[in-house]
Amino acid sequence: MAFAVGAFVGLVSGLAFGGEPDLSTPKAAADTTESSSDVSTGSPDESVAPSGPMTSDRAQAIGANEMGQVLVIMYHLFDSEETEWTRTPENFRKDIALLKKEGFYPVNVRDLVSGNIDIPAGKSPVVLTFDDSSPGQYRVLENGSIDPNSAVGIMQAAVDAGGSASPGSFYCLLDVVPKERVIFGQEDRQQEKLRNLVDWGYEVGSHTVTHLNLAKASTQEATKQLAQSQSILENLIGGGYEVTSIALPFGEYPESDSILKNGRYEDITYAYTAGLSIKEAHCPSPFSTKFKPLHIPRFRGSDPHLAQAIKHFKDNPGLRYISDGDPTTVSAPAELPEALGQLSDALGRPVVRY
Ligand SMILES: [Zn+2]
**Ligand 1 centre distance from Cα of residue 327 (Å):** 32
Alpha helices in the chain (DSSP H): 5-13, 20-29, 34-40, 56-62, 89-101, 109-114, 151-160, 190-199, 219-237, 257-261, 305-315
pLDDT the model gives residue 343: 93
3-state secondary structure (DSSP) of residue 166: coil
CA of 211 to the centre of ligand 1 (A): 6
| Span from the CA of 132 to the centroid of ligand 1 (angstroms) | 5
- What whole-number distance in Å separates Cα of residue 322 and Cα of residue 19? 20
- Ligand 1 centroid to 172 CA: how many Å? 9
What is residue 235's predicted lDDT score, i.e. its pLDDT?
Answer: 98
184 C-alpha to center of ligand 1: Å? 13
Distance CA 133, CA 8 (A): 22
Question: What separation in Å is there between the alpha carbon of 177 and the centre of ligand 1?
Answer: 12
Output the pTM of the full model.
0.85
C-alpha 171 to ligand 1 mean position (Å): 8
Please give the Cα distance from 68 to 59 (Å, whole number): 14
User: How confident is the model at residue 315, as a pLDDT?
Assistant: 97
Q: Residue 340 has what pLDDT?
A: 97
Whole-number Å distance, alpha carbon 131 to ligand 1 midpoint, is 5
CB atoms within 5 A of ion ligand 1 belong to: 131-132, 249
**DSSP of 298-317, one letter per residue?**
-EESSTTHHHHHHHHHHH-G
Q: Which fold has domain 69-316?
A: TIM Barrel (3.20.20)
What was the pLDDT predicted at 53? 86
pLDDT tens track, the chain, 354 positions: 333 333 333 333 333 322 223 323 333 333 333 333 333 333 333 333 456 789 999 999 999 999 999 999 999 999 999 998 999 999 999 999 999 999 999 999 999 999 999 999 999 999 999 999 999 999 999 999 999 999 999 999 999 988 666 789 999 999 999 999 999 999 999 999 999 999 999 999 999 999 999 999 999 999 999 999 999 999 999 999 999 999 999 999 999 999 999 999 999 999 999 999 999 999 999 999 999 999 999 999 999 999 999 999 999 999 999 999 999 999 999 999 999 999 987 778 999 999
3-state secondary structure of 28: helix
Cα of 321 vs centre of ligand 1, distance in Å, is 28
Locate the domains of the chain by residue range: 69-316
Q: How far is 212 from 191, CA to CA, in rounded Å?
A: 22
- Measured in Å, residue 76 CA sits from the centre of ligand 1 at 7
Pick the closest to residue 285 from 335, 224, 341, 215 (CA basis).
Answer: 341
Using the mean position of ligand 1's atoms as its centre, give its distance from the Cα of residue 119 in Å: 29
